[in-house]
Amino acid sequence: MTNSPRIAVTGLGVVAPGAIGVDAFRAALYSGASCVAEVDRFDTSAMKSHRAGLVRDFKAKDFIPVMKLRRMNNLSRMGLAAAKIAIAETGLDVAGLARTDIGVAIGTAFGPVQTSVEYLREYMAKGAALAPPQLFAESVANAPGSHIAIEHGFEGFNVTFTQRESSMLTALMFACAQMLKGTTKAALCGGVDEMNEVLYSVLDRIGALARAAGELPEEGRPFDRRRNGMLVGEGSAAFVLERPNELRAAPWAYVSGFGIAKDGSATISDWGSDAAAVVRAMRAALDDAGIAPSDVGAVWASANGSIRGDRLEARALGELFGASCPPVVATKSIFGEYVAGGGAHLASAIMAVRDQRLPASPGFAEAEEGAALPVTREPAPAELRHVLVSSLSAGGGIVCAVISRNDVG
């Protein structure tokens, strides 16, 4: 996006743990507390971990007519609800725009795992002829994006990305690139994921989740030397994107740059050790935005409490900023990893730029030796012209973005 117009974020919608809607999300973000709680949706008694960020107070009928609800799984319901919240804020619709002028890009880390399980259960019990076809239709990852486009008549691009923890930023990068090319004038970009027993039990089995250890409770501890795994969650987030010369609402913030890279040392299910690759992605995002490291007011870290992932990111931040690292924010201990395919992570950065306020990073107390970072401990006002959003995914994918307060400078 070098020397190109910045893409405006004019609408935001969120369905997250402890937060249905923008106001509730803001309150949760700045509360300084975690929204993670004991899992009561399925039995975790045989597992080592027992907590997650679950969406508990979501009433889909508040956003979607009952007859349409019957044709959607919970993933699609959360995705469409977040989109409706974001669109209502801007008034963006087909009025004044051709249907082909609005695209949809969605990110999801795992997609409709629960629906796939339910369909296969029916298939094995009843055979292909009697297994519910609607379950099969909802078992594909692009179902939420399709429902969003159908509901609003959007006929521009319609794509869904699955890039683990970086899914949301990947979708955002695609949408912004297409808008700058002139493919569409606006886009609805979002992320959605749900937590279920199959996914949770697999993550528990491979030791990815935070767990109690001696006197330490089960808690997310990003960048903390005592961390032993991540908290996970579910939810959806949606963003209305518009080109700056065609705005229909006051922007929350601007997307001004992207950088991508691959850590070749990573295994398929873990983070690697190539900090230089992470630095390349971060520098590329800053260069794309036309800013220097000294212009960054804060870093929205990918840190989720994983031992290797947090260590890798801390090394990269040290190499990029040296002794002048700006405040580092780690929000995944508030809502959990995978919430909205990384969309809650992005939404919190956009909200902070609009509010000019830094949230705390719950769970951080003791820095790892040799990795002392200025991790936020309390919510506080801050001057945020630009923030760097980092997303490192297990398997080695790296996507970084710059979110800016203004459309220039």
Q: What is the pLDDT of residues 194-205, one digit of tens each?
A: 999 999 999 999
Percentage of the chain lying above the pLDDT 70 cut: 97
Q: Could you give the CA distance from residue 184 to residue 155 in angstroms, rounded to a whole number?
A: 10
Express the helix, strand and coil content of the chain in percent, nearest 5 each. Answer: 35, 20, 40
The pLDDT confidence band at residue 371, using thresholds 50, 70 and 90, is confident
The pLDDT confidence band at residue 92, using thresholds 50, 70 and 90, is low
pLDDT of residue 287: 97
The pLDDT confidence band at residue 2, using thresholds 50, 70 and 90, is very low
The helix or strand, by DSSP H or E, that contains position 220, with its residue range, turns out to be none
Q: Which CATH architecture has domain 254-404?
A: 3-Layer(aba) Sandwich (3.40)
Whether 3 shows a pLDDT value over 60: the answer reads no
| Dihedral (CA of 341, 342, 347, 348) sign | positive
Whether 93 shows a pLDDT value over 70: the answer reads no
Residue 273 neighbours by CB distance under 10 Å: 13
The better pLDDT of the pair 236, 97 is held by: 236
Q: pLDDT (tens digit, 9 = 90+) per residue, 150-190?
A: 999 999 999 999 999 999 999 999 999 999 999 999 999 99
The pLDDT confidence band at residue 1, using thresholds 50, 70 and 90, is very low
Closest CA to 323 of 303, 284, 294: 294
Kindly state the tokens that stand for 116.
């796939």
Whether 316 shows a pLDDT value over 70: the answer reads yes
Q: What is the mean pLDDT of the chain?
A: 93
Specify whether the CB–CB gap between 174 and 105 falls below 8 A.
Answer: yes
Beta bridge partners of 357: 381
Mean pLDDT, range 300-323, rounded to an integer: 96
Phi/psi of residue 130, nearest 5 degrees: -110, -5
Whether 70 shows a pLDDT value over 90: the answer reads no
Mean pLDDT, range 71-89, rounded to an integer: 94
Beta bridge partners of 209: 230
The residues, any chain, with a CB within 8 Å of residue 209's CB and separated by 6 or more, are: 48, 49, 200, 203, 229, 230, 231, 232
The pLDDT confidence band at residue 329, using thresholds 50, 70 and 90, is very high
Kindly state the tokens that stand for 56.
């508990």
Q: Could you give the CA distance from residue 188 to residue 186 in angstroms, rounded to a whole number?
A: 7
Q: Could you give the CA distance from residue 93 to residue 40 in angstroms, rounded to a whole number?
A: 39
Q: pLDDT (tens digit, 9 = 90+) per residue, 391-409?
A: 999 999 999 999 999 988 7
Task: Identify the DSSP state of 35.
Answer: -
pLDDT of residue 132: 80
Closest CA to 355 of 32, 15, 27: 27
The pLDDT confidence band at residue 98, using thresholds 50, 70 and 90, is confident
pLDDT of residue 10: 93
pLDDT of residue 89: 81
Q: Which residue has the tokens 């008034």?
A: 91
pLDDT of residue 4: 61
Whether 309 shows a pLDDT value over 50: the answer reads yes
Q: Could you give the CA distance from residue 142 to residue 160 in angstroms, rounded to a whole number?
A: 6
Q: pLDDT (tens digit, 9 = 90+) per residue, 108-134?
A: 999 988 888 887 888 788 888 877 877
Percentage of the chain lying above the pLDDT 90 cut: 81
Residue 59 neighbours by CB distance under 10 Å: 10
7-246 shares its CATH topology with 254-404: yes
Q: pLDDT (tens digit, 9 = 90+) per residue, 280-297?
A: 999 999 999 999 999 999
What are the domain boundaries of the chain? 7-246, 254-404
Regarding the domain delimited by 7-246, which CATH topology (the fold level of the hierarchy) does it fall under? Peroxisomal Thiolase; Chain A, domain 1 (3.40.47)
